[in-house]
């Protein structure tokens, strides 16, 4: 008999729960915090994404550059914001690595304080030198720099 009552109660809760959970998200603008200056590659990507998010969500997504400390300022701001989905961070992993390795104590825990929601992309970085420089690898460049300090 207890099992039947439990089943009825559980069934009733399952039927009623969605109406209690229903929310009109988003019902106000979303702030997308960008960890690097306006006009840079991170900013350009963030603004493209913010525009598309605004179109899809029907609410403004405001790009907000909070620069400094290798992105730690922006990441700290978002980590301390309310966990309500209205403040999001668009950033490379740089601030998380910098905070964990350069500051004691770190201003945030990159694992506990953030939840990744989307992979945006990746970028390659290249090192180029004058063709007349006698190097053809990073190791050669380091050796050359050690042999020729100040050049």
Here the tokens at position 137 are: 């690898």
Q: What is the Cα–Cα distance from 56 to 113, expressed in whole angstroms?
A: 27
| Pair 46, 34: CB distance under 8 Å | yes
| Pair 98, 70: CB distance under 8 Å | yes
* pLDDT, tens only, 30-73: 999 999 999 998 999 999 999 999 999 999 999 999 998 888 89
Backbone phi, psi, residue 52, to 5°: -65, -40
pTM score of the predicted model: 0.68
């Amino acid at each position: 008999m207890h099992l039947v009552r439990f089943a009825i109660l559980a069934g009733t809760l399952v039927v009623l729960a969605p109406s209690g959970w229903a929310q009109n998200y988003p019902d106000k603008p979303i702030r997308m915090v960008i960890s690097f200056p306006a006009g840079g590659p991170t900013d350009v990507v963030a603004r493209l994404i913010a525009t598309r998010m605004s179109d899809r969500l029907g609410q403004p997504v405001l790009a907000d550059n909070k620069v400094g400390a290798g992105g730690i300022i922006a990441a700290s701001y978002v980590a301390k914001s309310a966990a309500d989905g209205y403040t999001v961070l668009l950033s490379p992993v740089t601030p998380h690595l910098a905070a964990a390795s350069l500051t004691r104590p770190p201003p945030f825990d990159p694992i506990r304080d953030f939840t990744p929601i989307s992979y945006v992309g990746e970028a390659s970085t290249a090192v180029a030198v004058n063709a007349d420089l006698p190097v053809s690898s990073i190791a050669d460049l380091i050796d050359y720099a050690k042999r020729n300090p100040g050049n």
